[in-house]
Amino acid sequence: MQNSDNTDLPRLIRSIEEVDAGLSAAGYIASRRISTAIYIAHHLRKPILVEGPAGVGKTELAKSLATWLMLPLIRMQCYEGLDEAKALYEWKYGKQLLYTQILRDKVGTLIGDAHDLGTALDRLHAFGDVFFSKSFLEPRPLLRALEQPGGAVLLIDEIDKSDQEFEAFLLELLSDYQVTIPEIGTVAATVPPIVLLTSNSTRDLGDALKRRCLHLHIGFPDEKLEARIIASRVPGIDARLLAQLVAFVQQLRGLDLKKPPSVSESIDWARVMVLMHSAVLAQDTVRDTLNVLLKFESDIEAAARHISDLTRKAQQAVVTAR
């Protein structure tokens, strides 16, 4: 691990600041807490469970991490009914069947001169488990992540959508970076992948899972951080518009909404504003583009009542900031 030039091993992250710089080079503006989490996870070799509302950049974090570290990103989307055949491995049934058919003659000749059943069986046993070897194994995301020679970033997305049984099945992988395949044995990772699990808290995750992970909660960013994020994602944006826009979104989150706008939505909104060549936040434009920020009819209605008020405040906020 000392030699970071050695390509077989993942590079060693030396400080929290390095995480900060690396992620922002990959286009992800991380808060201090996120960088700390990555740094610690990397050194303790622990998975990180990332929780937070939708659209605050949980998945994006994994992508940027992979870009920065130049590791392949392997993503597994969880859903109800996901099982190990889809997550870990599956036998290539078709290939097995085909090969047995093709090799039928070969098998015939091999055991043809056996005099009785016992000898024939013994000879068959000698082949070992030819048809249950790795060449007949179809690796699914988890197994693939373990088999990457240079390590990988494994993203287990929306773990809360999967069943409790599946969660239990993940435990071996998360604590020891190995999985057990009954027919073959235990497969351990050559280089432990960096594992990120995300959850929207639709259900409570088990204690056993949580115990094995670091827990990172990403909430909505504060005004300063959000401005930096948008600036990095929408490079052409005017500084004044940016400040007003962020102030507006921050206020909007304070209203009682079904789904408050997340970072990804404020980025979209900023893009729209740039496309429309708006120099400042104007009430009419806000009214017309509110559906970019809010995804529920009732929310839009609720917010529409406050638009003039919020816009004025957003404009003032900039004035006082200067």
Partner 1 sequence: MSAAPSAAPASVPSSASEPLRRFLQVARGAGLRVSAAEGIDAARALDLVGFSDRSVLKDTLGLVLAKTPDEKVLYEETFELYFQRHEFSDWINAELTPSAVAQDTSSRTADGSGQEHGSEGPPLSELLESDDPAALATSMEIAARASGIEKILYLTQKNRYVREILNRMGLRAVQEQIDALRARGTLDATAEAQRLEARTERLRDSTRDFVERSLLLFARGETEALRERLLKSTRLANLDRHDLERTRVLVRRMAKRLATRYARTRRRRRRGQLDVRRTLRRNMGWGGVPFLTVWKQKRIEKARVMVLCDVSGSVAWVSQFLLMFLYALTEVLSDIRSFAYSGSLIEVSDILEDQPFDEAITRVATSMGYGSSNYGNALADFERGWMKDITNKTTVIILGDARGNGTDPRADILERVSKRAKRIIWLNPEFRSSWGTGDSDMYRYAPYCGLVRVCSTLNDMERVINDLLEAAA
Residues at the contact surface with partner 1, assessed by CB under 8 A = 16, 32-33, 36-37, 39-40, 43-46, 48-49, 51, 80, 93, 163-164, 175-178, 188-189, 192, 201, 203-204, 207, 210-211, 213-217
CB of 46 to partner 1, least distance (A): 7
Cβ closer to partner 1: 224 or 277? 224
Longest distance between any two alpha carbons in the chain, whole Å = 98
Closest CB to partner 1 among residues 35, 311: 35
Q: Nearest approach, Cβ of 282 to partner 1 (angstroms)?
A: 36
Q: Which is nearer to partner 1, 180 or 308 (CB)?
A: 180
Stated as kind and residue range, the H or E segment containing 132 is: none
Name 77's bridge partners. Answer: 157
- The least CB distance from residue 275 to partner 1, in Å, is 37
Contacts of 117 (CB under 8 A, 6+ apart): none
- Least distance in angstroms from the C-beta of 60 to partner 1: 19
**Cα distances (angstroms) measured from residue 211 to each of 36, 151, 160, 205, 289:** 18, 23, 16, 10, 44
Are the beta carbons of 34 and 218 closer than 8 angstroms? yes
Closest CB to partner 1 among 220 and 269? 220
Q: Which of 44/117 has CB closer to partner 1? A: 44
How far apart, in whole angstroms, are the C-alpha atoms of residue 250 and residue 310? 10
CB 61 within 8 A of CB 28: yes
How far apart CA 228 and CA 270 sit, in angstroms, is: 12
Residue with tokens 């432990």: 192
Cβ 290 to partner 1 shortest distance, Å: 26
DSSP state at residue 13: P
Residue whose CB is less far from partner 1, 18 or 176: 176
Min separation Cβ 36 and partner 1, Å: 5
Contact call for residues 234 and 246 (beta carbons, < 8 A)? no
Minimum distance between the CB of residue 264 and partner 1, rounded to whole angstroms? Answer: 21
Task: Give the Cα separation of 295 and 242 in Å (integer).
Answer: 22
Residue 131, both tokens: 């048809």
Which one, 209 or 234, has the nearer CB to partner 1? 209
What are the residue ranges of helices labelled H in the chain? 16-25, 32-44, 58-69, 84-87, 93-102, 104-112, 117-126, 141-147, 164-176, 207-212, 223-233, 239-254, 263-275, 283-293, 297-304, 307-321
C-beta of 33 vs 134, nearer to partner 1: 33
Q: How far is the CB of 244 from partner 1 (least distance, A)?
A: 30
